[in-house]
Amino acid sequence: MNIETIRNDFPVLKKDVIYLDSSCVSLKPKQVVEAMNKYYYEFPACAGRSIHGFGSKVSGEITAARKNLANFFSTKPNEIIFTRNATEGINLVANSLGLKSGDKVLTSDKEHNSNLLPWQNLTKEGILHQVVLSNQDNTFNLAEFEKQIEGTRLVSIVHTSNLDGVSFPVEKIIKIAHRNGALVLLDCAQSAPHKELNMRKLDADFMVCSGHKMLGPSGIGALYGKAKLLDQLQPFLLGGSTVRDATYTSAEFEGAPAKFEAGLQNYAGIIGFSEAVTYLRNIGMKKIQHHEQELNKQLTDELLNLEAISLIGPAGPSQRAGIFSFNIKDKDPHEVALMLDQSAKIMVRSGAHCVHSWFNARNLKGSVRASLYLYNTEEECTTFIDAVKAIATL
């Protein structure tokens, strides 16, 4: 992996900043921006409706993008639904699955609000929402999960946590869930950008991800669902493109994915998302993962032994993907983030990272989170380490 060549693809890096906030939003390579511009400059029309030249060009591009995403996740095009983001995908499943009063949904105690609130909301209709508590070191407690799985209709669980980078053993979780008759929805917002995901092998029933965390534009994401399940799901949003035909009193719905993609879509976003996964595939997910782990090892080796630093998650960097989430004794996380920005142009995330429930349960305000991606370098990590050390001794 040639980092210098990669960095040249990201014009914003010329601004001389150290961007360690890719778990929130990744930077975009010029290939993605150019592919989106091409749509607006050359064929800015609607897919699947108008049959003129621009219309058929954009229809072809969207079909190709769906196929590309399907290949990226080792699945079929009709199993990929374009959404605004991971959040919308989870809400779609929550509202379309036909959950009934008394049905049980299991999540972990480390879910992003996007995979917590949709289930919490359904409790108003009698759905039971239960949380599986993690081990002390924030890893998944399989024994607890096995105790709670009985009678579950759906397990909706994060693959890689945005809180600490820990990945849950989803292969085992899926096998146990299926053995007990439960469906599984994987929140891959943080794993899809960094790991190879093979939907066929994993056998997950549903999966969601966001383009903006995987070098793509914002406002576009994907929901994967097994074809036979998508057939059974009711559409969530209704409108143009979801029906074959309609009268004043009835409608005949399309099959998936069309029945879930109501209204004119974010075509530039879909095209940019497809370009982003092509970029990731060309570099290679294994190489990206290895690079991030090397950098995280550097951060961990240098910072974990400082007395003032407390880490969130297990000590081993290989267990935390590209995330180093920490606190400095007696310092507010936002104050630390501001100091890093002002002293060394280092951009990190601070606060509860939309996992308020986890922090509230521990009476903590939040943490400082450095998150790494393919364009980060050893030198940037050295600058970060020096800046954190300086703040820790203030």
Residues found near ligand PLP in the complex (CB under 6 A): 85-87, 112, 114-115, 158, 162, 187, 189-190, 210, 354
* Joined tokens for residue 216: 């793509």
354 is known as an active-site residue: yes
Instruction: Tell me how far, at minimum, the Cβ of 24 lies from ligand PLP, in Å.
Output: 6
Instruction: Tell me how far, at minimum, the Cβ of 167 lies from ligand PLP, in Å.
Output: 11
Residue 269's nearest CA partner among 65, 16, 15 is: 65
Instruction: Tell me how far, at minimum, the Cβ of 119 lies from ligand PLP, in Å.
Output: 13
Please state the φ and ψ torsions of residue 93, each to the nearest 5 degrees.
-65, -45
Strands annotated E in 180-298: 183-187, 206-210, 221-225, 243-246, 251-253
Instruction: Tell me how far, at minimum, the Cβ of 23 lies from ligand PLP, in Å.
Output: 6
- Output 25 or 246, the one with its CB closest to ligand PLP: 25
Angle formed at CA 112 by CA 351 and CA 26, multiple of 5 degrees: 70
CA dist 379 and 139 (Å) reads: 30
10 Å CB burial of residue 76 (0-12, 13-18, 19+) is middle
The CA–CA distances, whole Å, from 313 to 23, 29, 128, 139, 322 equal 16, 31, 28, 8, 12
At 280, is the secondary structure helix, strand, or coil?
helix
28 CB-near residues (< 8 Å, 6+ apart): 10, 12, 215, 216, 217, 272, 276
* Joined tokens for residue 287: 């190489």
- Output 115 or 242, the one with its CB closest to ligand PLP: 115
CA dist 70 and 187 (Å) reads: 17
Among the options 188, 209, 354, 381, which is catalytic?
354
DSSP state, 186? Answer: E
- Output 211 or 317, the one with its CB closest to ligand PLP: 211
Please state the φ and ψ torsions of residue 349, each to the nearest 5 degrees.
-100, 145
- Output 28 or 298, the one with its CB closest to ligand PLP: 28
- Output 336 or 354, the one with its CB closest to ligand PLP: 354
Instruction: Tell me how far, at minimum, the Cβ of 216 lies from ligand PLP, in Å.
Output: 11
* Joined tokens for residue 355: 């996992």
- Output 321 or 381, the one with its CB closest to ligand PLP: 321
| Contact (Cβ atoms closer than 8 angstroms) between residue 152 and residue 162 | no
Instruction: Tell me how far, at minimum, the Cβ of 26 lies from ligand PLP, in Å.
Output: 11
CA dist 139 and 319 (Å) reads: 9
CA dist 270 and 348 (Å) reads: 28
Instruction: Tell me how far, at minimum, the Cβ of 373 lies from ligand PLP, in Å.
Output: 14
Q: Which residues are catalytic?
A: 354
